[in-house]
Structure 1
Amino acid sequence: MTLTDLLAALVRIDSTNPALVPGGAGETVIARFVTTWLTAHGIPAELDEAAPGRHSVIARVPGTGGGRSLMLNAHLDTVGTGGLPGLLGPVVRDGRMYGRGTYDMKGGLAACLLALLEARDAGLRGDVLLTAVADEEHASLGIQSVLLRVTADAAIVTEPTELNVSVAHKGFTWHEITTFGRAAHGSRPDLGIDAIAHMGRVLGGLEALGRDLAARPAHPLLGHGSLHASLITGGQDLSSYPGRCTLRVERRTLPGETPEGVTREIDALLGELAADATFRAEHRLTLAREPFGVGQDEPIVQSLRTAAAGVLGGPPALIGQSFWMDSAFLAAAGIPTAVFGPRGAGAHAAEEWVDLASVERCREVLSATIRDFCA
């Protein structure tokens, strides 16, 4: 099976994350396809069920002993199609394959699968593993589950990087802030306290905090941290003072920033506003995902860059990426990790595509890195 045929087969399998789209197909069918494909090619593979119907794949090419182990990682799930026809029917045009998941990230998965075939026949001392995981697009149930069962001396996540080597990405925290007023008839300002107006003060404070973040020293690859107001609800009808208003905020974080530190900053803002005796608010952290960073001198980064230089004709750039990936969980598990994947565009968009030649280059770089790192 050629790379193009393999990628097309993966894209045809609907693996929409059901946590994002109610009734989404989930990962079970694609996980079974990957497991069957690997087993048919002589590579032991098994399913890992993180939650009912949420399957990942763990595969291993065992080494002869004494070498370093390397984990290749990709996610199985995709975002939804938005009801657009044809996104699950891959189309090849001008060297690109179009379709949901081609870029994010079944192209990287196809490169991993073919690299495992080469590792099978390479006589390596170290093990080569694949973790093809569920739920990366939502709560990362898959990677958290498989890391309870496997580890490695290093890992490569094959999210798209345009054939650059990514050594950092931002994290994020989600926050819920509620302001409390006093509900009353709209004609009785003497009785009512406007919770929405109080939230306006919060929004002003968050805007000032955003300006402060932009004025702090920038990360050399990631720039500045940021925050934005995402969702707001409040009030009950036009003729009443609103007794409650709830705001949901996202804060994008840099390596070195912690959920605890971000929470303290928002709490301090609310504390200043509480100097007004009529102001009352509650704040809670609802989700945190750590930022990611790996040293450029880590052996896996050096091995990957050397291999890429040999395949691509020159050393790839070291980059950081703004979006979050499962690499943060791998790093938190003590596994030095780099990110390397193909070129393309349209992640989560109506038109998504991957450059097929870059998927082939990705496979070649993965294979060269495996031969070096696991020899």
Structure 2
Amino acid sequence: MEELLASAEALIGIRSTADRPGELHRALGLALDVVGPDFEIQRFESRGKPSALVTHPDRPGQPRVILNGHLDVVPGTPDQFRARREGDRLYGRGAHDMKVAALVLATVFRSLAAELPYPIALQLVTDEEVGGFDGTGHQVDQGVRGDFVVIGEQSALRVVTESKGLVRARLVASGQTAHAAYPWLGSNALITLWEAVDRVLERYPVPSAEAWATTVNLARIETSNEAVNQVPADAVAWLDIRYPPEDGELTGRSVAAIVEHLRSVAGPGVDVVVDAVGTPHRADAGSAEVVALREAARAVGYSGELLRKHGSADSRFYFPLGVGAVIFGPAGDGQHGPEEYVQISSLTPYAEALSIFLKGLPA
């Protein structure tokens, strides 16, 4: 445990954010050092985001299980990149999401890859926080496949079989500039935009409590207008949309179809641009792998209950291929916040549950 925590503290100290490609490489290198020699490492890179797939040379073939972890983090203040321990908590950016879990996956892989009667793989990526398209998505595009995938995102040893999809979109309004004293001579793009945003939020209101429903976050509104005494002629709103697999208006739809749907909701006067689409994810809760993983969690004293996640994860890249993927990680809290931490006492049971699961699967 002390060896693992020392590596975790070093990894937390690396500012592996999307705008620091050198630090992404450093984080990946540290995790691969934990795995150690005697393994085959297939390296990938897409748009400056490095990733790796690690396998054992004596276990060729498609992996029975892929252990997936991401090493990138969202930005934070300098003090958040200095790990600190307080009792049963290890604090720091990425402690819970999900550098420490990735190191646990690496140690479990290192211990079991040679002795299992089937091949497994360790998938390490560095772009999950910015969409995952250049990490897991890129590897999948290059032909990487597995029978079952365990994503080490935080779950307190519960098994996440469903997570929401993601649409990142922009509403773009154009108008006509004029002097603010004579607004009837112009057309205010901000007003046009706000009316469109209001219609979107009327269609997808912010829930008053947790709800398994499509939600829209108005992330930013901008205009190039800098003068108070001028009618703005342009405005843009950025939307972050999360939707469950049950949403037939978004799930499985093409980008063009999603654009048309959002245009019909937003109404006249705005154009819709979709910048990214991530599918939702659902795994068969009755599959042999999910049942076995839940039993392994219970064997080490945790509930192993099923869970839904409102956030998206790299499991969505496997869902369209019919590959079962779940989220299963240690306990903690505060991801993306100033007091992010992983619960240290959950790390050994987490590793043990993974080991029990892997050893119990048929070849």
Same fold (TM over 0.5): yes
Picking from 29, 37, 43, the partner of 2:39 is 43
Instruction: State the 1:25 CA deviation.
Output: 4.3
Give the C-alpha shift of residue 185 in structure 1. 2.1
Alpha-carbon distance between aligned partners in 2 of 1:64 and 1:230, rounded to the nearest angstrom: 46
Asked if 2 retains the 8 angstrom alpha-carbon contact of 1:89 and 1:99, the reply is yes
Opposite residue 138 of structure 1, the aligned amino acid is V
What residue in structure 2 maps to residue 17 of structure 1? 17
> Could you say which residue in structure 2 is the equivalent of 1:146?
139
Distance 1:198-1:81 versus aligned 2 partners, 3 A rule: closer
Does the 8 Å CA contact 1:186/1:239 hold for their aligned counterparts? yes
Which letter maps to 1:28?
Answer: H
Find the counterpart in structure 2 of residue 242 from structure 1.
232
List per-residue Cα deviations over 1:168-188 (Å, max 9, x = no partner): 111221221122222122333
How do residues 215-254 of structure 1 correspond to structure 2 at under 5 angstroms? 223-234=212-223, 235-254=225-244
Q: Aligned with 1:79: secondary structure?
A: coil
> 2:348: which partner in 1?
360
Shift >6 Å, 4+ stretches: 65-68
AA aligned opposite 1:170: K
- Separation in 2 of the partners of 1:98 and 1:194? 47
Alpha-carbon distance in structure 2 between the residues aligned to 1:66 and 1:183: 63
Q: Which runs of 5+ in 1 are unaligned?
A: 275-279
Aligned positions of 1:195-210 closer than 5 A? 195-210=189-204
Deviation track 1:336-363 (CA, whole Å, cap 9, x = no partner) reads: 1111000111211222211112111111
Q: Which deviates the most, 64-73 or 341-350?
A: 64-73
Residue 190 of structure 1 and its aligned partner are, at CA, apart by 4.4
Partner of 1:288: 277
- Per the normalisation by structure 1, the TM-score is 0.85
The residue correspondences of 1:94-243 to structure 2 (distance < 5 A) are: 94-122=87-115, 124-140=116-132, 141-147=134-140, 148-211=142-205, 223-234=212-223, 235-243=225-233
Deviations 1:116-153 (CA, angstroms, capped at 9, x unpaired): 1331353x221010001111111311112222242111
List gaps (5 residues or longer) in structure 2: none
Aligned match of 1:72: 67
Distance 1:46 1:6 in 2: 22
* TM-score, with length taken from structure 2: 0.88
Counterpart for residue 373 of structure 1:
361
Counterpart amino acid of 1:181? G
Q: Rg larger in 1 or in 2?
A: 1
Q: Give 1:295 deviation, angstroms.
A: 1.5
Structure 1's 189 and 3: CA in aligned 2 closer, same or farther, altered over 3 A?
Answer: closer
Cα distance change, pair 68–310 in 1 and its aligned pair in 2 (3 A): farther
Alignment partner of 1:342 is 2:330: yes
Return the offset for 1:103.
0.9
User: Which amino acid in structure 2 is aligned with residue 129 of structure 1?
Assistant: A
Residue equivalent to 1:267? 263
Distance in 2 between residues matched to 1:206 and 1:339, nearest whole Å? 31
Q: CA shift at 1:227, angstroms? A: 1.1
Of 307, 317, 322 in structure 2, the residue corresponding to residue 329 of structure 1 is 317
Which of residues 77, 96, 99 is equivalent to 1:82?
77
For 1:48, the aligned partner's letter is: F
AA of the residue aligned to 1:164 = R
Instruction: Tell me the CA shift for residue 158 of structure 1.
Output: 0.5
Please, which of 85, 88, 93 is the counterpart of residue 92 of structure 1?
85
In 2, the alpha carbon distance for the partners of 1:120 and 1:72 equals 11
Whether the 8 Å contact between 1:228 and 1:250 is mirrored in structure 2 is yes
Q: How high is the sequence identity, in percent, across the aligned residues?
A: 21
* 2:59 and 2:114 in contact (8 A); partners too: no
Return the letter of the residue paired with 2:306.
L
Question: What CA RMSD, in Å, does the superposition of the two structures yield over aligned residues?
Answer: 2.7
- Which amino acid in structure 2 is aligned with residue 230 of structure 1? A
